[in-house]
Amino acid sequence: MGINAAPTAGGEGFLTTTVNSVANWGRKNSLWPMPFGTACCAIEMMGALASRFDLSRFGAEVARFSPRQADLMIVSGTITYKMASVCRKIYEQMPEPKWVIAMGSCTCGGGPFDSYAVVQGIDEFLPVDVYIGGCPPRPEALIDAVIKIQKKIDIEGAPIV
């Protein structure tokens, strides 16, 4: 964002920028995650959201259990094929622009469950932006992923819709 603070007679400044950069600056600092926790990783996600690690320090303020109010889906936990259609449905219900974090080995590639019911990576049916490995990853890793999403929004942005 280009900020030009030009002194004027009254001492007030003004800014020149683009609508896109202002919008992206707002988006990246007010991510509202939709926690989609289905297994053990969800416990670490709760840890990251709670006071000890406090994800809200990084601008991912309030976890929204309504997909209509969220723009960042954190899929944490084993996803079975039966759950996959639900997960996809919830993703579709989120308004654009939206991002997805795949948290944990299970969401990245099936984790320890090479079985008939478990999806071997949620990128089979969702566009994932950031993958976090680990079984489970620590809360710091989730915070790191959120910061990566913020960087991604900053660099690539999202079209104004």
Partner 1 sequence: MSNFSLEQLNGRLESYIKSSSEFRGETTYFVAPAKIVEILKILKEEFGFTYLVDLTAVDFLGIKTPRFEIVYYLHRFGEEYDENIRVRIKAQITEENAAIDSVTSIWIGADWLEREVFDMFGIVFKGHPDLRRILMPEDYDEYPLRKDFDVRNREPSKKSFQKALREGGY
Residues engaged in binding partner 1 (CB under 8 A): 80-82, 84-86, 88-89, 114-117, 120, 125
What mask of x and - would describe binding to ligand SF4 in positions 132 to 161, judged by CB under 6 A? ---xx-------------------------
Three-class SS of residue 9? Answer: coil
- On whether the CB atoms of residues 23 and 160 are closer than 8 A, the answer is yes
What number of other Cβ atoms are within 10 A of residue 5's Cβ?
A: 9
> What is the per-residue binding string for ligand SF4 in 81-120, x denoting contact by CB under 6 A?
-----------------------xxx----xx--------
**Cα 64-48-31 angle, rounded to 5 deg:** 40
Out of ligand SF4, partner 1, none, which partner does residue 115 contact, by CB within 5 to 8 A per kind?
partner 1
**Min. distance of Cβ 34 from partner 1 in angstroms?**
18
Are 111 and 103 in contact by the 8 Å Cβ rule? The answer is no
CA–CA separation, 139 and 145 (whole Å): 10
**Shortest distance in whole angstroms from residue 140 CB to partner 1:** 33
Among residues 60, 57, 84, 81, the alpha carbon closest in space to that of 72 is found at 60
Q: Which listed option, partner 1, ligand SF4, none, makes contact with residue 81 (CB within 5 to 8 Å by class)?
A: partner 1
Question: 3-state DSSP call for residue 103?
Answer: strand
Q: Map the footprint of ligand SF4 across residues 22-81, applying CB under 6 A.
A: 39-41, 77-78
Asked if residue 91 lies in contact with residue 126, where contact means CB atoms within 8 angstroms, the answer is yes
121 binds, among partner 1, ligand SF4, none (CB under 5 to 8 A by kind): none
The residues that touch ligand SF4, with contacts defined as CB under 6 A, are: 39-41, 77-78, 104-106, 111-112, 135-136
